[in-house]
Structure 1
């Protein structure tokens, strides 16, 4: 315990306090003639009492601090994470017994904390075995962030090692500051099984157009057998094929391009016919839903004159049955733009054609726009449009190639197309930096002499309720010709063109009132919808209520009112049963009544049942890379012994310094009162008043 003063020259002030208290006490009792009747001993006692009380008062005025150092012991934390997914549900009682054993064994020497994880990681440690996904990576990240700057000794991870959501947990082990002791449950025996591991497809397709389906298939212990794959649309067969299985651990990647023949929400089911020796046939089926649109869409192309880039685009678009193009040169715009789903501007505004009225009319409309920017584009005028992309003004040009960004998420291109187009002849682009708004995403960056830059060559997004796209370069026709010269067809260029056109032409905000939602939900998803309401100036408002009625295919009806968030509306219905649903939302803005109708589907989520083979290899890898150990559930006792014998897991001690001002110490206050009281008593007793 130490005493310190929050003053410079504190020693001088303490000396002065001693002198002042001594002087006053001496003068009061030894120089005061009224105290002649007191003996020297009585004077000394009273003087000492007054000296002590005055010294305390003076020291209080100097604000001294009482410094006390407290030693604190912190037990190491033992975190226990239990897999709570469906694949380990048969082991819930085993988990409960294991939890009790761990708690009883380590409660005295560790701070034991239980966690459960599946789709989410929770700190309650309650086990039900009902989670429909397993996210080991998120669990590792959650525990890592939760125990920053804490004395965590180890993590005991109990599960089957099967993750089907999030990233590989091994990716996060390098930054862990504690060992992982993993306990494996489940059957690792390779059994005969045919499984549909994953399916990738579009969310939207157009009537009479083909759409891609990519399937990852896994066959185990079925060597030299023939698999039969069937695809149905609303119960009707649309595709069948046979797949030879060449090994006992065979992986297949299958591609199918069926034609969309009906509009609306279309249910598709992929099915692998079961083999007699299979124990798990739930992973032989996969269901998905896509939305098929029927409207034939019109695309308006505007240019100063004929251009080979527009010719290349028109040739690709002509192969899409639901689109037709119209080329207009000069400033002769149609009377109404509402009939068009997309407007393509080729190097407009240009040096020869500022096109101010044309651009103003296009900007006032809500029609999506694709800008093809080249050497003839008048960049000063283009930048004033403020549609999300600005290009530094320059009369010079440079040759650039495309480097595609894997983080682009507005639509998908195959890896083959991206790799091929990255080698295509360069485009002629204005020399200068590009600046894009946060509402846009870069599909590709400019590469100059094989050096990737931060300048955009293709960008897309939604700006103020209108979809916009930009291609910063002239020479797309060379890409189409290059595709044919190398591949004998135009599939790569057509894929790029079709994805751009389909994304831009699919209008999301063509009315004042719009409800946004995905066409497909998993049964574990919260059903969330958002809505936007615009006034006639196209400003977001959310003053009036938005009500919605949702009806299931079993004719059950649910009524809700949207919540207001900022300028938008949001609704979280929670979970609903699998099936098809329709809805009708309505609102009133002034004298205008708006309604919006739509439909969505909820499909079953049985991904946890698609793979029943435990992955102890993953659990072993997690333990090995963090300095821990792995054991099966039958031998977990040896693992608990290893934790007890780990000398690196220790009790941490740290010191806590407590500073207290004297004036806040009640003991000193009562001491002062006691000194003054005793002095007063003796003065009265010895006859001094």
Structure 2
């Protein structure tokens, strides 16, 4: 009974446990290609081994090792083959991991960062001890530090190329800057540098003479005693497009919409608009890629016949002066049971529109368009971009729809007054850009005779040496809906060696993606194929000899020194293992923290008490049975 009462009471006592938490010493090791370029591979590994094998360091610190290049990784092995360096993200990543601990950071790097925010200005919570690797000697050098050029140009147009050149040195020097295309010099200029002029900006206006992807190389000549010439040249590419679009706007009335269409379309300099009254039209449709028919009536009879005969692309815009009786007789695939009364129609954006990419630019806030009242019936396959909103009631009646049938593209806008949309767009954004882009998208789709592709491939035209080639693809079924069931494969061919590489695509977030590594510099053609389907897409790209990690001539001691000063650390060199060891051991701010935790524990172990009670009860039962008491 005593034990049962004790078990029911179950008294508790408070117990305090003590845990010793060492400060964490985080090693951050640069694993980028610049380390091997400076021939510091072995020195880095020796430095790490000497520090981590130091028993005194291990007694005082909990040593943790990380490597970084374009991202932060737990250090397993070092390859020194990565093509980008992000020092700031690596430091911030370790700070986040060791947020509530005393954790000095030993940063082993040449200090040359290629991506990310400037690590000199980050707010690090821990003291940082940079270990400088690489060449600390300053050499004279001239390099291309930045090249700016548009990806696209139109044929026979001039496109600007802006190049920023930098010089390290003190003497007066002159170097020749050139741009080459297919071995021919297309631009040349002498550039002078001095101790007071360390940089120069050169702008070249080149002419695009041939359609397609064109490759160029910008180069600046070597100067005397220059050690690193890998940063003296840089390749770039421009895709030349032949898109001379002429638009004919035929009208039966004078209206502000006419000027808005002309301004919006001609905001793209490769497009021009001729506005002609239907009564003065000479029937020359073949000069134009798109016909806009504004407010049709019976005077458009001959024009409609020619459009049908030539299979011309057109955009029909209706309004208060439109003769719907005439249009309904022409069997255009749409009709409107209109009465002689007008109605205002607001716009509702359809985010399921698939014909071309169009963002919602605030259509629901635009003023309504005016058209004759009536029900719209469309009898042919179409896509609706905008639905009608009648006095706040959203309907499934189209306001703007497009058609793509038998290689003829057409569209219809049910309403006049689009000039108010352009004005409203300017009031909202202080720019006509959104509205003009919207009209441009419509014109680009309607004026193009290219058939819509079910397979689209996104790839760069230029990749730097040793980089990961990332290519994505988008495949749709016959209804132009994304098809995740497909299997895609890319076949790469090196045009010089004819070596062929085949790689499958993986499905990632409603797109097919693949990454290819270890390709040699050179020109490549590729073919993306949908397995089991007779659908493929061809293209080409170039892998250059340009490696951003090889563009530096020496370690960036200045930035590393500023980082150490700002965080309360000290800068050391690769041969100062003993010095940094003494610094880490002597610093009294790196101390072991004793952490106490209090917890309530049972005074007795109830399992043993319960076992003892059962044993006593069993013994009592047997004794009573034996002596005849039961």
Q: TM-score, normalised by structure 1?
A: 0.66
Asked if 1:638 is matched to 2:586, the reply is no
Distance verdict in 2 for CA 1:578–1:683, change over 3 Å: same
Asked if 1:108 is matched to 2:59, the reply is yes
| Matched residue SS, 1:275 | coil
Asked if 1:218 is matched to 2:166, the reply is yes
**Contact 2:265 / 2:443 at 8 angstroms: preserved in 1?**
no
| Matched residue SS, 1:550 | strand
**Contact 1:182 / 1:619 at 8 angstroms: preserved in 2?**
yes
Distance verdict in 2 for CA 1:153–1:542, change over 3 Å: closer
Distance verdict in 2 for CA 1:366–1:380, change over 3 Å: same
Q: Map Cα deviations across residues 379-437 of structure 1 (whole Å, 9 max, x no partner).
A: 4789xx9859999999xxxxxxxxxxxxxxxxxxxxxxxxxxxxxxxx98439997xxx
CA apart distance, 1:582: 1.9
**Contact 1:373 / 1:470 at 8 angstroms: preserved in 2?**
no
User: What aligned pairs does 1:246-645 form with structure 2 within 5 A after superposition?
Assistant: 246-247=194-195, 250-294=198-242, 296-297=244-245, 304=255, 307-312=258-263, 317-318=268-269, 328=292, 330-331=294-295, 366=355, 378-379=367-368, 429-430=423-424, 445-446=429-430, 458-459=433-434, 469-470=437-438, 510-553=452-495, 554-565=497-508, 567-587=510-530, 593-635=534-576, 637-645=578-586
Asked if 1:233 is matched to 2:181, the reply is yes
Q: Map Cα deviations across residues 253-280 of structure 1 (whole Å, 9 max, x no partner).
A: 2222212223333221111111121111
Distance 2:389 2:51 in 1: 63
Distance 2:4 2:99 in 1: 51
- Residue 80 of structure 1, aligned match among 27, 30, 34: 27
Distance 1:377 1:677 in 2: 90
Distance verdict in 2 for CA 1:632–1:517, change over 3 Å: same
Q: Map Cα deviations across residues 605-643 of structure 1 (whole Å, 9 max, x no partner).
A: 421121122211211121122222223334454333332
Q: Indicate the larger mover: 633-642 or 296-305.
A: 296-305
Distance verdict in 2 for CA 1:433–1:271, change over 3 Å: closer
**Contact 2:33 / 2:549 at 8 angstroms: preserved in 1?**
yes
Distance 1:634 1:500 in 2: 66
Distance verdict in 2 for CA 1:506–1:373, change over 3 Å: farther
**Contact 1:82 / 1:117 at 8 angstroms: preserved in 2?**
yes
Q: 2:69 matched to which residue of 1?
A: 118
Q: 1:160 matched to which residue of 2?
A: 110
| Matched residue SS, 1:430 | helix
CA apart distance, 1:677: 5.9
Q: TM-score, normalised by structure 2?
A: 0.71
| Matched residue SS, 1:240 | strand
Q: When the two structures are aligned, how many residues end up with a matched partner?
A: 540
**Contact 1:305 / 1:330 at 8 angstroms: preserved in 2?**
no
CA apart distance, 1:335: 5.6
Distance 1:98 1:225 in 2: 40
| Matched residue SS, 2:524 | strand
CA apart distance, 1:155: 0.5
Q: Map Cα deviations across residues 27-47 of structure 1 (whole Å, 9 max, x no partner).
A: xxxxxxxxxxxxxxxxxxxxx
**Contact 1:547 / 1:560 at 8 angstroms: preserved in 2?**
yes
Distance 2:445 2:588 in 1: 60
**Contact 1:116 / 1:122 at 8 angstroms: preserved in 2?**
yes
Distance 2:160 2:256 in 1: 36
| Matched residue SS, 2:104 | strand
CA apart distance, 1:248: 5.8
Q: Map Cα deviations across residues 560-613 of structure 1 (whole Å, 9 max, x no partner).
A: 443334543333334422222222233378xx7423222222223421121122
Distance 1:564 1:257 in 2: 42
Distance verdict in 2 for CA 1:428–1:596, change over 3 Å: closer
| Matched residue SS, 1:55 | helix
Distance verdict in 2 for CA 1:660–1:210, change over 3 Å: farther
CA apart distance, 1:352: 7.7
Q: 1:94 matched to which residue of 2?
A: 43
Distance 1:661 1:337 in 2: 95
**Contact 1:392 / 1:432 at 8 angstroms: preserved in 2?**
no
**Contact 1:209 / 1:320 at 8 angstroms: preserved in 2?**
no
| Matched residue SS, 2:103 | strand
Distance 2:447 2:524 in 1: 25
Distance 1:122 1:370 in 2: 38
Q: Map Cα deviations across residues 323-355 of structure 1 (whole Å, 9 max, x no partner).
A: 988673514696699987x98x9xx88888899
CA apart distance, 1:217: 0.8
**Which structure features the higher share of helix residues?**
1
CA apart distance, 1:113: 0.9
| Matched residue SS, 2:158 | coil
Distance 2:446 2:154 in 1: 14
Distance verdict in 2 for CA 1:535–1:302, change over 3 Å: farther
Distance 1:667 1:336 in 2: 101
Distance 2:566 2:541 in 1: 45
